[in-house]
Structure 1
Amino acid sequence: MTSPMFSGAEIPELCDAIKDIHRLLTSVGVFFSELDGAEDPGGNGLQIDFKKWGIRTIAEDLLARQYEKIDRIVGIYQEEQEKMKEKGRRNR
C-alpha cells in the first residue's frame, strides 16, 4: 500500500537510495578486506594506506549524497504528517 504522502517518484527514489547505500557498503567492505590482506608484511604500507584513504573518501562522499536524498524524503514525509495533523485538528 503506498502512502498518499509521497508522490509516485519519491518511494522508489527512497528505496533506491537505501539499496545504493547497501551495495556501496558491501562493495567497499569487500575491497577494503582484499586490500588489508594484500599488504606486504615487510613493506611500509604507504600504497595500501593511500588506497584505503581513497576508498574511504569516495565512500563517504557517495554515502553523504545518498543520505541527503533520504533526509530530503524524510523531510517531505514530516511536512505531510504535520499537514495531516493540522487538517485533523481543524476537522474536529
Structure 2
Amino acid sequence: MSSPNSLPGPGMFSGSEISELCDAIKDVHRLLTSVGAFFSELEKTEAPGGNGLQIDFKKWGLRTITEDLLERQYQAVEQIVSFYREEQDKMSKKGRG
C-alpha cells in the first residue's frame, strides 16, 4: 500500500517530464532491441575457421556506439528521476508545513 506522500500530487509536473521519461525508456528499449538483432546477424556471418578480424572490429564499433548512446539515455532518465524526486520532496515538505 502506498503512502500519500509517495504518490504524485496534482500539479507535480508542469511540463512534459512524464512523456520525456517514457520516450527515454522506449529509446533505450529500441536501441537494445536493434543492437541485439544486429549483433545476432554479425554472429551468423562469421565463418568457422575464417578470419574474424572484420567481424570483431564491427562488434567493437557496435559496442562502443551502443555504450555511448545508452549512457546518454541513462543520463536523460536520471535527470528526469532527479527532478521527480526533488518535486516529491517539495510536495511532502509542503504537506508537513
Does TM-score exceed 0.5, indicating one fold? Answer: yes
Q: Does 1:70 align with 2:77?
A: yes
Q: Figure out how many residues of one structure are paired with residues of the other and give that number.
A: 89
Match in the other structure for 2:64: 57
Q: Distance in 1 between matches of 2:63 and 2:10?
A: 36
Change (3 A) 1:41 1:3: farther
How far does residue 3 in structure 1 lie from its aligned partner after superposition?
A: 5.8
Change (3 A) 1:70 1:3: farther
Structure 2: give runs of 5+ residues left out of the alignment: 1-8
Partner SS, residue 47 of structure 2? coil
Q: Distance in 1 between matches of 2:10 and 2:79?
A: 16
Alignment counterpart, residue 35 of structure 2, candidates 28, 35, 59? 28
TM-score when scaled to structure 2? 0.85
Deviations 1:44-81 (A, max 9, x none): 21110110011111111111111111000000010011
How far does residue 12 in structure 1 lie from its aligned partner after superposition?
A: 1.4
Match in the other structure for 1:9: 16
How far does residue 8 in structure 1 lie from its aligned partner after superposition?
A: 2.6
Q: Distance in 1 between matches of 2:83 and 2:12?
A: 8
Structure 1 residue ranges, 4+ long, deviating more than 3 angstroms after superposition: none
State, as a whole percentage, how many aligned pairs show the same letter.
Answer: 71
Structure 1: give runs of 5+ residues left out of the alignment: none
Please tell me the root mean square deviation across aligned C-alpha atoms, in Å. 1.5
Q: Distance in 2 between matches of 1:34 and 1:73?
A: 34
